């Protein structure tokens, strides 16, 4: 597991609280993006601010962003992040666990931790083109 994943959820893993470990590990991606970019958003909005090209150049780039394939990969990575937030961060953030009936299995949690490790490895190699003022 990538050290950044553990940084945000080690305590919850030691307590064997997968629900909270997943929630904290996912929130850790937002925090890392805020630290990298200097932006203050959250979730899908933060992903759009970091990876969108509204001003011509995305703030955070996972590749050279020069060819059609690189731009497609970059957009796909942003979509992956939006999907992670929508699937794993938003449900526990907006609905009480008891009311939602959101059952997280250990295999699902392990798969998510693996996916978050991939996300952090890609962010390790990312380029920050400009940071927010």
- Averaged pLDDT of the chain: 87
pTM of the predicted model as reported, rounded to 2 decimal places: 0.86
Q: Which of 11-20, 23-32, 45-54, 84-93 has the lowest mean pLDDT?
A: 84-93
| Mean pLDDT within 81-91 | 81
pLDDT-derived band at 100, boundaries 50, 70, 90: low
The pLDDT assigned to 93 comes to 56
- 3-class secondary structure, 31: helix
- 3-class secondary structure, 53: coil
Q: How many CA atoms lie within 13 A of 72 on its CB side?
A: 3
């Amino acid at each position: 597991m990538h050290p950044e994943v553990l940084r945000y959820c080690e305590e919850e893993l030691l307590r064997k609280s997968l629900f909270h470990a997943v929630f904290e590990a996912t929130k850790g991606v937002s925090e890392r993006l805020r630290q990298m970019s200097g932006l203050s958003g959250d979730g899908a909005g933060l992903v759009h601010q970091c990876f969108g090209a509204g001003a011509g150049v995305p703030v955070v780039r996972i590749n050279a962003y020069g060819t059609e394939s690189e731009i497609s990969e970059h957009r796909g990575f942003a979509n992956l992040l939006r999907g992670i937030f929508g699937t794993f961060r938003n449900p526990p953030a907006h609905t009480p666990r008891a009311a939602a009936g959101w059952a997280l299995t250990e295999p699902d949690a392990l798969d998510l931790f693996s996916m978050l490790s991939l996300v952090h490895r890609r962010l390790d190699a990312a380029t920050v083109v400009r940071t927010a003022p």
